[in-house]
Amino acid sequence: MKRIGVLTSGGDAPGMNAAVRAVVRKAIFHDLEVYGIYQGYSGLINGNIKKLELGSVGDIIHRGGTMLYSARCEEFKTKEGQQKGIEQLKKHGIDALVVVGGDGSYRGAKALTEQGYPCVGVPGTIDNDIPGTEYTIGFDTALNTVIDAIDKIRDTATSHERTFIVEVMGRGAGDIALWSGLAGGAETIVIPEDNFKMEDVANRLKKGHERGKKHSIIIVAEGVMSGPEFAEKLQEATNMETRVSVLGHIQRGGSPTAFDRVLASRLGAHAVELLIEGKGGRAVGIEKNQLVDYDIIEALAMPHRVDLDMYRLSKELSI
Ligand code: ADP
């Protein structure tokens, strides 16, 4: 193997740049050539491919987003699209590919691997919902952004003695809601993994009020329902007025935390190591602070589990 490619795909996440930097530098350290594929699978199909040098990834470790850009590409879900991608890789003499992205991007990497083209997946998404790793690149940064917002909202909630509903990202996974809710001292956390009852939320609020607690923060993962919808239903159940804050895309941006930079550096370098060892079709991750890798097909089939012990703890601490 002489030449590898790297792309970022799907939703961007802080720390993707640090991962790209690690892939490029680790590869060059081992005398490989590295090509950047711009705009994810869309750029792969269109041949938007350029050689990267050591300096190409200078000054990016602290930047959010991705210097390689990201894109969604429906065409790549088809065999024809994938074939076009493989033709481009062959044309540029690229022997193997590192894909930084979420589970959709992994499916693309899996499709290429099944067609004989070695790929390694690196988990880059703020949602922390990729199997085969305890943490995904970007999750810690997003979490800190959410906590910063909760702390600010809490000031207003306290001053005005109000209940605030904060909608955070997480369609299928409640990790952002759970971790930020626990770290931010939220009174209630609503995650897609639990069948919550509005009645229970209402009762907790009423009990708090009876004890003299006049303000509350409720964190709702977007996968359960939107913040405004939740507020409407809660008002029906309690007759209490609430305020809603939808945090939205601020959760995806910003300079990556030290944790995400270190994680991205380790995972990106590990992906290159695997390719050097001739191991394609793998997904890298971290478990108990050790680097691990799984067959990408098996990884995709593994369920992601939110930490239910932590969920119970959050309830115990917010009585
Ligand atoms: P994420 O990687 O963040 O989960 P998406 O689900 O949007 O984001 O996936 C990113 C891209 O990966 C898609 O736009 C598509 O190009 C590719 N992809 C997703 N699913 C598949 C699939 N089943 N087969 C091939 N490529 C896929």
Please give the Cα distance from 58 to 275 (Å, whole number).
Answer: 23
| pLDDT given for residue 214 in this prediction | 82
Residue among 44, 72, 114, 297 to mutate when testing ligand 1 (max atoms within 8 A of CB): 72
Confidence band, pLDDT 50/70/90 cuts, at residue 118: very high
- Same domain membership, residue 280 and residue 249: no
| pLDDT given for residue 100 in this prediction | 98
Average confidence (pLDDT) over 188-210: 92
What percent of the chain is predicted at pLDDT more than 70?
100
- Same domain membership, residue 274 and residue 226: no
For ligand 1, what atom is nearest to the CA of residue 76? 16
CA-nearest residue for atom 12, ligand 1, is 105
Active site residue 127: yes
> 46-52 contacts: CB < 8 A, separation 24 or more?
46/88, 47/88, 47/91, 47/92, 49/5, 49/88, 49/92, 49/94, 52/6, 52/24
Strands in 163-168's sheet, in edge-to-edge order, are 188-190, 216-221, 163-168, 242-246
3-state DSSP assignment of residue 224: coil
Tens of pLDDT, residue by residue over 275-308, are 999 999 999 999 999 999 999 989 988 888 899 9
Average confidence (pLDDT) over 241-254: 96
At position 266, the amino acid (one-letter code) is: R
- Show the DSSP H helices in the chain as ranges: 16-29, 40-46, 79-91, 103-114, 139-159, 175-183, 198-210, 227-238, 258-276, 296-301, 308-317
Q: Are 243 and 163 in contact (CB under 8 A)?
A: yes
Mean pLDDT of the chain: 95
Please give the Cα distance from 139 to 135 (Å, whole number).
Answer: 7
| CA distance readout (Å), 79 to 27, 83, 121, 296 | 29, 6, 19, 18
Q: How many whole angstroms from 140 Cα to the centroid of ligand 1?
A: 23
| pLDDT given for residue 260 in this prediction | 98
- Same domain membership, residue 171 and residue 243: yes
- Same domain membership, residue 129 and residue 148: no
Confidence band, pLDDT 50/70/90 cuts, at residue 213: confident
| pLDDT given for residue 240 in this prediction | 86
- Same domain membership, residue 263 and residue 237: no
Average confidence (pLDDT) over 182-196: 95
Residue 268 lies in a domain: yes
> Which structural domain, as residue segments, surrounds residue 211?
139-253
Place of tokens 């699209």: 81
Residue 13 lies in a domain: yes
